[in-house]
Every structure is written in C-alpha cells, then in structure tokens.
Amino acid sequence: MSSCRNALEELVIEEAEAQYKRLGADVKKRVDLSEVIAYTLNRLPPMYATTQRGWVQQRKKAEQELGAAIAKTVRNGFLSTQSDVLRQSDPIPDHELISQARSLFKLRKLFSKDYLKWKDVPEIVQDALNSGYYQSLSNGTYVSLDRRNSLLARSYAVRRKTTTTLSNSSKTTKTEKDISAELKDFESYMSGTIYRYSNILESLVNAIVERRALRLDENVQQKVNIDDVSAYVLNRLPPMYATSRRGLQNLRQKVKSEMTSQIISIVKEALNKVVQAPERALSPLPFEKFNIELEDSLVQLRELLKRDDITWRNIAEVVEECLRAPRSDYPTWRAKHDV
C-alpha cells in the first residue's frame, strides 16, 4: 500500500527517537523503539492519506491537534513497554514487513550504503559485479565491511562525479529549495523502515476492498481507486499495530471474532462514497515519485541480471543471489568489464 500511508507514523517516530535520546543507558537497554511506536500508534486516531493534498492536511492537523497527545503517549509507551533484557525475542515475521521502501532498505544494508535511492541501484549493482567484491563470498571467504566499501568506492566516486558534472551543466539544475524538499520527501518515503511494526489491518482491508470492487460493474470499477477506499476504511477503524508474532496472532483473532462484519460494512460505505464522488485530478503522495524510479530500476535490473522474475518484493534477495554467483555464469558482465 505505497499509495496509502498513515501520516501519523512519521510524527510518532520523530517524537519517539527524540525522547529515546534523552533516556539513560540502563533504560535504553530495556526499550524497543518499535514497541514504543506501535504502542503509541495504537492509542491515537489513524490519519491515512492517498494524495499530496491529503498528506499535507493530515500532517498539519496532527501537528496542531495531536502534538501534546503524541508526546504524552510516547512517554507512556517507554514506561509500558520496558522489558527484561533476557526476555525471549518473538519478532514479527519478515513477510509481514513488506513495502517498496523496506526493499530499498534491504539493499542499503546489502551494499552498506546509508543513502541509496532507487535510481542509483542499477549502477551500483553493475559496479559490484565489475569489482567482484561478492565473488569471494560465494567461496565462503569473509570480506570485511571496510573491504566491501573500498572495493566499491572508486567506481561509485567516478559515477558521482560524472552525475554531478552533468547536473551542474544542466539548464534545469535544482535549487537548494528543490533539493531540500526532495530530501524531506525521501525521508518520509523511508520513514519507519528500520523498525519492525505493521498495522495488520492494512493488508486485510486492502484485500477485502479489492474483492468487493471486482463485484462492481466494469465501468464503475474504472472509477474506483482502491487506495482511496482503503484509506477511508482504515481511518474509521482502530489501528492494530503489531511488533511480535504473538501480537500479530492475537490481533488477527480479535479481528476475526469481533470486527469482520464492521469492516465489510465500512468497505461498502466507502465504495459507495468513492463511486459517487466527482472525479478529480489530484497529485499522488509526495514520495510516490520514488516508486516510479523503482519501476525504471526494475526494468534495468531485469536486463542487466537476465532475470525477468525480479519484483520490488524480491529485489534484494535476487540481487544478492546474482552477486554471489560465479562471474563465469554471466559472460555479458565479464565482456563489459573487460572492454
């Protein structure tokens, strides 16, 4: 649901991180920020948006009306979620934490790059293939983090220099204001990717909406934006953020036993409202442009790696698999590098 996001998440994360910095070392050891964030979000009204205008409005409303409530609930979250450091970990499964931004975060870890955007991925993969810095891994040889970075540094630096030169000579050079706005949008896009929490209602509601929409007349279906319907529904249900496997199971059982009819009723209401609403040309979420870069990168990577099965869901795993493969398996890459 990249085009449907809870605008409150980023504000809660910022407040949780700010309060965490002020905690003592002993307390920090007993705190899991993911749990604090989920605790807070579960006690505040959801504020999902699907357009740039909606995102700005929801953020402004949250800042003006919920600022004090966010700070207070985060403080309570730190007190309520502190745990015994010896408590057995029961993390939420990885397959529950899927999004385009989280896939990019995986690639960041793979290449040890703190700042990596989708448009940079094809070139950095090519650099990695040419340098062969993953080849030793396929033979079971350890490669230190410093060694990995040094193997990529030269080609990456050359590419940055070339890109900067082209950018500076362009007639459409971005102003500092444009760059600042893009950085802010990118931070929003990546917000939360380092934490392990998920509103279990998002995938459930989206699935119900899609099934219900298929029952509509084909001409009507074309007028329905699934994300708009999902946002309408999610903003009228209590948020259910989970951070553990047990929490996930408990919340799903609660939905199944207590909320199914309520969700279906709200979905029907949402579909009627969306279908009857006049069509408007509205800009998507401000960070949706990064998913457009993702689609372009997928096209390039499918050609580069000769893998038509690459999607945003498996991109990190497929890239690592290809980097570990013997270079002799890919004569095209070797030929390019030898030229």
CB atoms within 10 A of CB 59: 17
Mean predicted lDDT score pLDDT of the chain:
84
Query: Do 92 and 100 form a contact (C-beta atoms < 8 A)?
Result: no
Both tokens assigned to 140: 């079971």
- Ranking 86-100, 280-294, 299-313 by mean pLDDT, the lowest is 86-100
Structure tokens at 94: 């990885």
pLDDT band at 156 (very low <50, low <70, confident <90, very high): very low
Residues near 149 by beta carbon (within 8 Å), at least 6 away in sequence: 112
pLDDT, residue 175, reads 79
pLDDT > 70 in the chain, percent: 81
Banded pLDDT at 115 (limits 50, 70, 90) = confident
The band of 166, judged by pLDDT with boundaries at 50, 70 and 90, is very low
The highest-confidence range among 39-48, 277-286, 326-335, by mean pLDDT, is 39-48
Sequence-ordered list of residues with C-beta below 8 angstroms from that of 132, at least 6 positions apart, any chain: 151, 327
pTM higher than the cut 0.75: yes
Strands (E), the chain: 5-6, 48-49, 198-199, 241-242
Count of residues for the chain? 339
Alpha-carbon distance of 272 to 277, in angstroms, equals 9
Mean pLDDT of 94-103: 92
Q: Which long-range contacts link 86-93 to residues 24+ away (Cβ below 8 Å)?
A: 90/244, 90/245, 90/246, 91/196, 91/243, 91/244, 91/245, 92/196, 92/197, 92/198, 92/242, 92/243, 92/244, 92/245, 92/247, 92/248, 93/245, 93/248
For residue range 177-227, list pLDDT tens digits in order: 778 888 899 999 999 999 999 999 999 999 999 999 999 888 888 888 899
> Please, which residues bridge with residue 91 across strands?
244
Check pLDDT > 60 for residue 252.
yes
Q: How far from 16 is each of 6, 13, 19, 23, 66, CA to CA, in Å?
A: 16, 5, 5, 11, 14
Q: Give 325's pLDDT tier (boundaries 50, 70, 90).
A: confident
Three-state secondary structure call for residue 49? strand
| 204-213 b/e (C-beta count within 10 Å ≥ 16 → b) | bbbebbeebb
Residue in the block written with tokens 């950018």: 167
Residue type, 280: R
- Percentage of the chain lying above the pLDDT 90 cut: 63
Task: Say whether pLDDT at 251 is over 90.
Answer: yes
